Amino acid sequence: MNTIEELDIITRMRGEVMSHKDVTGENLFLAWGYPTVLVLLAEFAALMIWNEDWCAWLWVGIPLIGAALQIYGAGVPGKLTVSGGTFIASGTGSGSQNKGILVEEGNGEGTASIMISGGTVIASGGHDDDTNAGTDAIDVQGTLTIIGGAIVTADGGISTYDNGGGYGISVREGNSAGGSATISGGVLTATGGDQMPAINVDKDLTISGGTTVITATGGAMMEGILAMGNTTITGGTVNSYGGTNGPGFETSSITVSGGKLTAVGGDAPAATDLDGRPGIIGNITVNGGVVTATGGAKDGSGSDGLGVDDNSTISVGTGITFFEGDAANPTTEGTPPTCTKRYVVIK
């Protein structure tokens, strides 16, 4: 084994990464084992020093301390912080929890967090042998924050037998909190597994920073970026590509006041006569920056996808113009709030 191989083993983390699990199994043994040993040692020492009747009652501390650790431990929020170096995580083995990085907490409240402020993170999802589905590369039930000069690569796991892959990145909402992501600086590249978005955010997505670069490529029929809440972009470069027959970028609403957003819908599958998919699904307001949205190509008798879905509304601020056309880089002004063409540029 050479030095490079040794370093690779040191930096590679096998399976899921969790700051905390429910206090069960081996953790349950520790939660009760340590208090038992420590209290009995304290009782023995007290009897040796004072030899009073009350010393024999110190054992009562065992159930009190053990129960407290079990109850408190089950709700401790997981937390992963990466500020430098190289962090490699790969999902291995079987089971749906076989993810590259998994951070959550026992009660499911959604207060776990991942903070990446520097260094390089390379995560890849695994494969659930029980269901033949792929698993997520990065999964947090809480919040995700990427800032500074971090470099993050997240590739969702691949499925077999068409059972669905894994998210590149999944930011899940809990019972009472979580589900939002903030990206301000750094380079993020994410790829969704089969039939999965590259980046899935249950609630709000905020993107800023002039040096931020995000490239998200969805799996078949899925988005590059899917944000269930509101998306705000004030800076950076965001490229979101839908997989075959998948929208480019989907969100409840999106507000762009700076930076550059490119969203490309997926082409229709061959020999299906289906429509191409929209570049953007979601109400969009542009007050600054540049937005380029392109619908996917049709197949056969289908229709090309629209740059912005026709059920979404388009609003532009002062000094911003909405262009649309049947060819790239359109120069014909469109009429908000509705898109009618495949190619859209708003700037």
Strand partners, 145: 115, 182
Residues 118 and 165 in one domain: yes
- Same-domain check for residues 156 and 50: no
When the pLDDT of each residue in the chain is averaged and rounded to a whole number, the result is 85
Residue bearing the bigger pLDDT, 206 or 41 = 206
Distance CA 340, CA 335 (A): 9
Clarify whether residues 274 and 339 are in a common domain.
yes
The reported pLDDT for the residue numbered 8 is: 40
Handedness of CA 179, 182, 186, 190 (dihedral sign): positive
The verdict on residue 11 lying in a domain is: no
Three-state DSSP state, 298: coil
Does residue 39 share a domain with residue 127?
A: no
Same domain, 183 and 57: no
Query: Cα–Cα distance between 163 and 155 in angstroms, integer?
Result: 17
pLDDT, residue 140, reads: 92
Number of H helices, E strands in the chain: 3, 23
Cβ burial of 107 (10 Å; 0-12, 13-18, 19+) is middle
Has residue 9 been placed in a domain? no
Q: Is the alpha carbon torsion for 88, 243, 110, 186 positive or negative? A: positive
Same domain, 32 and 174: no
Residue after which a domain boundary falls, among 14, 45, 73: 73
Q: Which of 48, 73, 98 is the last residue of a domain?
A: 73
- Examine the domain organization and report whether 198 and 333 are in the same domain: yes
Write the DSSP string, 171-223: EEB-SSSB-EEEEESSEEEEE--TT--SEEESS-EEEE-TT-EEEEE--TTS-
pLDDT of 98? 77
Lowest-pLDDT choice from 19-23, 29-33, 51-55, 179-183: 19-23
| Residue 15 belongs to some domain of the structure | no
139, part of any domain: yes
Q: What pLDDT sits at residue 160?
A: 64
299, amino acid identity? D
**What pLDDT score does 94 carry?**
58
In degrees rounded to 5, what are phi and psi of residue 31? -60, -30
pLDDT confidence of residue 233: 98
Number of domains in the chain: 2
Say how far apart CA 82 and CA 113 lie, in whole Å: 11
Burial class (CB in 10 A: 0-12, 13-18, 19+), 115: middle
Residue found under tokens 């998919």: 277
Query: 51 with 149, same domain?
Result: no
pLDDT in tens, 142-156: 999 999 999 999 999
Q: Which domain-ending residue is among 53, 73, 93?
A: 73
In a domain, 19, yes or no: no
pLDDT tens-digit series, residues 50-92: 888 887 888 887 777 766 665 554 444 578 888 888 888 887 6
- Top mean pLDDT of 15-19, 21-25, 172-176, 242-246 is at 242-246
Q: What is the DSSP letter of 158?
A: P
Which whole-number Å values give the CA distances from 19 to 75, 113, 275, in the listed order? 12, 10, 45
Instruction: Let me know if residue 122 belongs to a domain.
Output: yes
Q: How confident is the model at residue 106 (pLDDT cuts 50, 70, 90)?
A: low
How many Å apart are CA 93 and CA 74, to the nearest integer?
25
Residue 7 lies in a domain: no
- Give every CB contact of residue 218 below 8 A, 6+ residues apart in sequence: 192, 196, 197, 198, 224, 226, 241, 242, 243, 246, 266
Domain span including residue 201:
79-346
